[in-house]
Structure 1
Amino acid sequence: MADSLMNVDDALGQLLKAARVLPEATARPLGKALGNILAETPVAAVTVPPADNSAVDGYALNSRDASQPSLPVSQRIAAGQDPLPLEPGTAARIFTGAAVPEGADTVMMQENATLEGEEVVFSRTPEANQNIRPAGQDIQAGETLIEAGTRLEPWHLGLLASAGLPQVRVYRPLRIAVLSSGDELVTPGQPLAPGQIYNSNQTMLQSLVSAAGWEPVPFETVADTFDATRNALQRASEEADVIITTGGVSVGEEDHIRDAIQSLGQLNLWRMAIKPGKPLAFGHIGDTPILGLPGNPAAVLVTFLMLGRPFLRCCQGESGLTTPAAYALPLGFAVPRAQSRREYQRVRCRQLEGRQWLEAASNQSSGVLSTACWSDGLAVIPENETLAVGDTVLYYPFSSLLYG
């Protein structure tokens, strides 16, 4: 029954509520901290810039002397020099980034100045405070630089460097074990026996983990026995921060993951109102969370992106999580029949006469991965709704889901 299925938003809420920061914090040089999650809230020890400085090449003067027809040039100030106080009734030759001397309150850019012998003549009237970057314009000493839980981008690292910090405390990347079980699964490159298929989920999930900046912990395909499954899960719980499994959580005689997890820890099995995918397992082996995804590859992709990745980001220590960027775009196809499950269709964003619209992949089967390669994102088809061509839905580009 549809009312027995858990809403996708409720499932995500339960996952995020259960998440806790797993990896320890460590100090890293700024040059090696890109993409890491900040484990502290650094405070500026210095003011940036430390003194008023010139925004242009030109001449520093006091605006009270603007009525003079010309001013003698009393000193030359390059960036990095400590200037002398400005002599009254004079101007100082100054360059971009150089400290403004005491007594000067404006800088006239050189394009509006003419040097005549040892005096400078201005073609415009200087105004107070023009072309001066004041001390502390960027950072004040004692100010919080970046909040803990922030994913460090290049501009964050630049800001930390400008405050003189050589290193920062960050969480090490999550170690994530990806386990697949099934005697039918074969590692690519090996010959296939009758009834066997190549294991695509292992490669795809390890790549999704790597794309997020986490560390996949390699595991071989687990044989379809209870003892092999239990031993692999036990070892994974000792070597990884999080375990992700695919398939094997139903009640079939050859589905051992569910029983093995329950023998080692605890497991909740949710039936979700999501398509592709429906079963999602979540539990713990000791202190190690385990996330059991469906077995079909398209369902693995959707459930990892929409549910697994947000959970893992919280476990990594990332705070202030926002939903990946989505765009309201019109459909180029109809959805004539309402469904009880929220559907994430593989689509491609098209351009026609300056307008964008969504084209659906030809095959939305949960076992078909080729249409994900044709697509560039997912369109959200709300549960219990019919849609006509031109109706607007949310569209998540894969780039947003992977890196947003």
Structure 2
Amino acid sequence: MACCDEPQLIPVRDAIARMQVAVQSVSDTETVALPDLLDRITAEPVRAGFNVPGYDNSAMDGYALRADDAGQPLIVVGQSLAGHRFEGELQPGQCVRIMTGATIPAGADAVVMQENTKVNGDSIKVLKSPSAGENIRRAGEDISKGQEVFPAGYRFGPIDLALLASLGLAEATVQRRLKVAVLSTGDELTPPGQPLKDGHIYDSNRYGIIAILQRLNVDVLDLGLIPDQPDAIRAALERAGSEADAVVSSGGVSVGDADYVKDILGELGEIGFWKVAIKPGKPFAFGHLGRAVFFGLPGNPVSSMVTLHQLALPILRTMAGEAPEPPLQITAKATSGYKKRPGRQDFQRATLRCVDGENQVGSNGAQGSGVLTSFLGANAYTVLEAERGKVEAGEFVTVIPFDRFIT
């Protein structure tokens, strides 16, 4: 069977493309105060209202002077401190003591570092002459008035908040938070903290899913653990479809007799597609449920995390109003072999290192869809193309480093 010949098995790239055109970004906006803007997404471009810096200032502690005067003794006629400028105009043969960040006095065109001067009472001798413009930071050198600093669809990070503050902005207009409903299904699942019966496992997927969504900074509606009962699943999905923008379900989208989620989704909404040529995580469902977009993740823990990260998360970011860049992909030499059969694009957990200037990547142990420990110590995916087979040590492979949503 050739790659992706299995009925309804969609290549990863095609699945993402189909989901992107099937969703819309939130349209509601709100104005949020600066301290609360971390990880919020801009609803409109942010422009500078003035130059940054707003005035020519010194990049060094030293003396402001006329560069042409540096070859003669100079009289110190005052000082310019940050927040306390020298009010006069520098005349030939004069200089002004100046501190880093202080305004360049009128008439000065250079700053000599204090290490390159010798002080003699109220005069100095310049030991190393500066050139015109040396050690001066010009007004607007960082940001010019009217410049677009942040485009629409930009997610604010920590340094961005400092930059907003430097622009004097105490608030910004951002998209409202996306609301995502989360549920797990399965009679074999037990809530953490409860005694574990024979043949049962703990519900781990929901906690990983919610943690990743918290990194995305969405509002999470946790619908909890739903038993494999059609009425209970139907009630949970109806609520999710009416209250949330998106629904992330774990389990119940395979072909087992008790896998009801996909069937009930077909009754209440519509299934866009089911089954993707990805490993781990082939039984991934996408569709619509009421006003919400539906993502049905597989029940196996690693499959659930990988499909959320690689398939659902890019779409959720689009729905949240973000315009994310494609993930960084690099080429590295495999230090270990990889088992693989052609047919599905494989995302194997791996450890990426730079050794003697060369990118090297190795498998992070057992890669089974239930082996969550394959993520421990890993910092990247080794991404093996759908048509690729077994990889020998020494071959070159594509690597996607983990981002902040998964680490």
Do they superpose with TM above 0.5? yes
Summarize the alignment of residues 75-114 of structure 1 with structure 2, pairs less than 5 Å apart: 75-89=78-92, 90-114=94-118
Given the alignment of the two structures, is residue 144 of structure 1 paired with residue 148 of structure 2, yes or no? yes
Residue 6 of structure 1: aligned partner: 10
- Of 252, 255, 271, 1:248 maps to 252
Residue 211 of structure 1: aligned partner: 215
Letter in 1 for 2:103: A
TM-score, with length taken from structure 1 = 0.90
Given the alignment of the two structures, is residue 155 of structure 1 paired with residue 175 of structure 2, yes or no? no
Check conservation: 2:90, 2:108, Cα contact below 8 A: no
Relative to structure 2, which stretch is displaced further, 97-106 or 119-128? 119-128
Cα distance change of structure 1 residues 49 and 394 upon mapping to structure 2, 3 Å threshold: same
Summarize the alignment of residues 1-400 of structure 1 with structure 2, pairs less than 5 Å apart: 2-3=4-5, 4=7, 5-22=9-26, 24-67=28-71, 69-89=72-92, 90-250=94-254, 252-335=256-339, 338-349=341-352, 357-373=360-376, 375-386=378-389, 387-399=391-403
1:277 to partner: Cα distance: 1.8
Give the 3-state SS of the residue equivalent to 2:225 in structure 1.
Answer: coil
CA distance in 2, matches of 1:326, 1:401: 19
Check conservation: 1:246, 1:294, Cα contact below 8 A: yes
Give the 3-state SS of the residue equivalent to 1:14 in structure 2.
Answer: helix
Relative to structure 2, which stretch is displaced further, 311-320 or 213-222? 213-222
Letter in 2 for 1:80: G
Relative to structure 2, which stretch is displaced further, 115-124 or 138-147? 115-124
Letter in 1 for 2:349: R
1:252 to partner: Cα distance: 4.4
Per-residue displacement from partner, 1:330-370 (whole Å, max 9, x unpaired)? 141154x6421122223344788886644435533323323
Give the 3-state SS of the residue equivalent to 2:105 in structure 1.
Answer: coil
Cα distance change of structure 1 residues 354 and 168 upon mapping to structure 2, 3 Å threshold: closer
CA distance in 1, matches of 2:279, 2:324: 28
Cα distance change of structure 1 residues 112 and 102 upon mapping to structure 2, 3 Å threshold: same
CA distance in 2, matches of 1:352, 1:145: 37
CA distance in 1, matches of 2:383, 2:331: 11
Check conservation: 1:349, 1:359, Cα contact below 8 A: yes
RMSD after superposition:
2.5
Check conservation: 2:343, 2:386, Cα contact below 8 A: yes
1:194 to partner: Cα distance: 4.1
Letter in 1 for 2:299: G
Relative to structure 2, which stretch is displaced further, 95-104 or 255-264? 255-264
Per-residue displacement from partner, 1:205-263 (whole Å, max 9, x unpaired)? 12222233334322221122222111111212233321001221345443322232223
Cα distance change of structure 1 residues 115 and 197 upon mapping to structure 2, 3 Å threshold: closer
Check conservation: 1:40, 1:169, Cα contact below 8 A: yes
Relative to structure 2, which stretch is displaced further, 41-50 or 173-182? 173-182
CA distance in 1, matches of 2:255, 2:346: 25
Letter in 2 for 1:88: Q
Give the 3-state SS of the residue equivalent to 1:79 in structure 2.
Answer: coil
1:327 to partner: Cα distance: 4.5
Unpaired segments of 5 or more residues in structure 1?
none
Letter in 2 for 1:115: V
Give the 3-state SS of the residue equivalent to 1:317 in structure 2.
Answer: coil
1:289 to partner: Cα distance: 0.7
Relative to structure 2, which stretch is displaced further, 360-369 or 25-34? 360-369
CA distance in 2, matches of 1:227, 1:15: 28
TM-score, with length taken from structure 2 = 0.89
Letter in 2 for 1:385: R
1:200 to partner: Cα distance: 1.8
Cα distance change of structure 1 residues 104 and 368 upon mapping to structure 2, 3 Å threshold: closer
Relative to structure 2, which stretch is displaced further, 293-302 or 111-120? 111-120
Cα distance change of structure 1 residues 283 and 166 upon mapping to structure 2, 3 Å threshold: same
1:31 to partner: Cα distance: 2.1
Check conservation: 1:324, 1:401, Cα contact below 8 A: no
1:396 to partner: Cα distance: 3.0
CA distance in 2, matches of 1:119, 1:46: 37
Unpaired segments of 5 or more residues in structure 2?
none
Cα distance change of structure 1 residues 334 and 309 upon mapping to structure 2, 3 Å threshold: closer
Check conservation: 1:377, 1:397, Cα contact below 8 A: yes
Letter in 2 for 1:257: V
CA distance in 2, matches of 1:232, 1:198: 20
Letter in 1 for 2:281: G
Give the 3-state SS of the residue equivalent to 1:279 in structure 2.
Answer: coil
Check conservation: 1:56, 1:109, Cα contact below 8 A: yes
CA distance in 1, matches of 2:365, 2:62: 64
CA distance in 2, matches of 1:354, 1:65: 49
Relative to structure 2, which stretch is displaced further, 294-303 or 390-399? 390-399
Relative to structure 2, which stretch is displaced further, 282-291 or 205-214? 205-214
Q: State, as a whole percentage, how many aligned pairs show the same letter.
A: 38
Aligned residues, how many? 401
CA distance in 1, matches of 2:263, 2:108: 78
Check conservation: 1:176, 1:215, Cα contact below 8 A: yes
CA distance in 2, matches of 1:148, 1:154: 17
Give the 3-state SS of the residue equivalent to 1:396 in structure 2.
Answer: strand
